[in-house]
Structure 1
Amino acid sequence: MNLPDPVVQVSGAVDVASDVLVIPNDHVGLVPNIGVISGTEAVLVVDTGLGVANAAAVAEFASEVARGRRIYLTTTHFHPEHAFGASVFDGSYVVNRAQAEDLRRKGTGYLEMFRGFGGAIAERLAETEVPVPDEVFDGVHALDLGGRTVVLRPTGRGHTSGDQVVEVPDAGVLFTGDLAETGQFAIFPWFPPHDTDVSGLAWIEVMDRLIAAAPRVVVPGHGTTGGVDVLEGVRDYLRELRDETWRRRDSAMELAEIVAEVRAVLIDRHPEWAGQEWIERGIGCLCAE
């Protein structure tokens, strides 16, 4: 598999609100949007990029922003391009309990799977180990950065079991991780029998709750930052996928037929979207729900 080198370009960082920076992924595969959120006493980094070298570049950038203030790290979920550089942020990595459990149970398998892509991906993960959080919390965690409180809010099962959104209430900014993307089909990590934690139905419910909160700025896991329309677009697609899949499943069609028909319908509706490979996995997930 010849994938481009997933380099995090810290030089492209942009302000999306006062003292809220986003290092954009610029639509490069396996590069997430990364957040750097500042208060008067501390700075919070959201996601690391894939591997130690990317995370080191992010940490250096965050240090320049922090100018001596404490730096915390959190990750939106356990997948390698979001979390597998956390060891660089020694002593400051904070996640919810379900995400910590995802890292413990599934981290090694995902590390091996991603190394199996070969090329630049394998090279970036050569010196990487599955991260271990420094602080694990239950419920909702309010992190005081000094004059600004950032809320780390687990959403329950959706894209993964340990999904967590990061809210900056005073700025109206929401970091979603891979619960939301723009310009691509929703990523369904449906890999039976090894990983079947993704839930299309629960994911729709999560999106409804996030939409109801009406954030001003939404930073998706991958793709272009926008407003609440980012969330609405993902919710509407998930409903499409559910309805088209269930209509055929309930008519007792074979799975291969369902996949072929639903895939054709959705690509016809969204011809410009990337990630067509995720349609089949989403159909498989929803057929099982």
Structure 2
Amino acid sequence: MPQETLLPDEPLPHRALPDPAVRTDGAEEIAPDLLVIPNRGVPLVPNIGVIGGTRAVLVVDTGIGTANAEQVLAFATEVAKGRRLYLTTTHFHPEHAFGAHVFADEATYLVNRAQADDLRTKAAGYLEMFRGFGGDIARRLEGVRPPTPDVVHDGGHELDLGGRIVRLRATGQGHTKGDQIVEVPDAGVLFTGDLAETGQFAIFPWFPPYDTDVSGVRWLAVMDRLVADRARVVVPGHGDVGGPEVLTDVRDYLRELRDETWRRRDSAMGEDEIAAEVAALLIERHPQWAGREWIERGVGCLCAEHTG
């Protein structure tokens, strides 16, 4: 396996996780011909979009593994009622893209170039890593192979679904190098992928020396731009659908994390001590948020960016 795909055996926080099963029976119509299959707060289940126009339907993200993606495809096919199908993914991580192979020959799969590069160079390593978690996650990844996009765009792509234009826009490096938002301008809806979550601390896949592509500094700049765009409805990668506050909450948290980390870095504290102090402070400020284990990863990333 190429060096860039290698990952540590257990880089993610080790805890028992429930079966990451997508349930299409609870799909919610948040605008005309625009549905969200909610993640219901289940770890490793994303919010999935099904966006329709008069001629075509676009699916946003697949869920993890073959069985989940088969459910999503069947649901989208029923919604489409003969309309053409497209698929896009917000980034390459397993719960978002590791069902795309199911859509082969059924839908046209589009991503931005940086995400296509991530799929080519990193997906195999993440597949190996997630299978190593065992249990339901490994079971859902049996027989899965990293997907290959049909169409790769540079920076942005306007997809005409018939009476509805959907914009696929690469944001630049943030949560990953290949983050992509999906905008539905006529409905004021924005799909963010894991650039934004609700009810949890931002996910920093900071696993040096294996994967260090996440950037807290650039992620914060991305969020500043997204807040300025003034979407009315925000569909985060995980958590409840909401309004503009979804974006401002994430932006404000990333700013807190940066400022508190860099303030201590300037005092020459050790990184472990910085992480402990910052985690305690941010947990006190956001006691109801899940994913506390990601604070330390974020501190590590921002310490490296401060030094760099």
- TM-score, scaled to structure 2: 0.93
Distance 1:155 1:216 in 2: 19
1:20 is aligned to 2:34:
yes
Asked if 2 retains the 8 angstrom alpha-carbon contact of 1:23 and 1:35, the reply is yes
| Partner of residue 102, structure 1 | 118
Secondary structure, aligned partner of 2:82: coil
| Partner of residue 169, structure 2 | 153
Instruction: Calculate the aligned-residue CA RMSD, in Å.
Output: 0.6
Distance 1:164 1:141 in 2: 11
Gaps (5+ residues) in structure 2? 1-14
Distance 2:155 2:290 in 1: 34
- TM-score, scaled to structure 1: 0.99
Gaps (5+ residues) in structure 1? none
Asked if 2 retains the 8 angstrom alpha-carbon contact of 1:2 and 1:119, the reply is no
| Partner of residue 270, structure 2 | 254
Q: How does 1:54-65 map to 2 (within 5 A)?
A: 54-65=68-79
| Partner of residue 241, structure 2 | 225
Offset at 1:139?
2.3
Letter aligned with residue 204 of structure 2: F
Distance 1:256 1:61 in 2: 47
| Partner of residue 98, structure 2 | 84
- Superposed CA deviations along residues 198-233 of structure 1, whole A, max 9, x for unmatched, are 000100110011111100100000000001100000
Asked if 2 retains the 8 angstrom alpha-carbon contact of 1:32 and 1:49, the reply is yes
Asked if 2 retains the 8 angstrom alpha-carbon contact of 1:48 and 1:85, the reply is yes
- Once the two structures are overlaid, the 10-residue window that deviates more, 82-91 or 163-172, is 82-91
| Partner of residue 45, structure 2 | 31
| Partner of residue 48, structure 1 | 62
Offset at 1:169?
0.5
| Partner of residue 3, structure 2 | none
Count, aligned residues: 289
Offset at 1:161?
0.2
Asked if 2 retains the 8 angstrom alpha-carbon contact of 1:95 and 1:137, the reply is yes
Offset at 1:138?
1.0
Give the alignment partner of residue 4 of structure 1, picking from 15, 18, 37.
Answer: 18
| Partner of residue 67, structure 1 | 81
Secondary structure, aligned partner of 1:288: helix
| Partner of residue 205, structure 2 | 189
Distance 1:8 1:110 in 2: 20
Offset at 1:151?
0.2
1:131 is aligned to 2:147:
yes
Q: Among all aligned residue pairs of Structure 1 and Structure 2, give the percentage whose two residues are the same amino acid.
A: 73
Secondary structure, aligned partner of 1:93: strand
Secondary structure, aligned partner of 2:250: helix
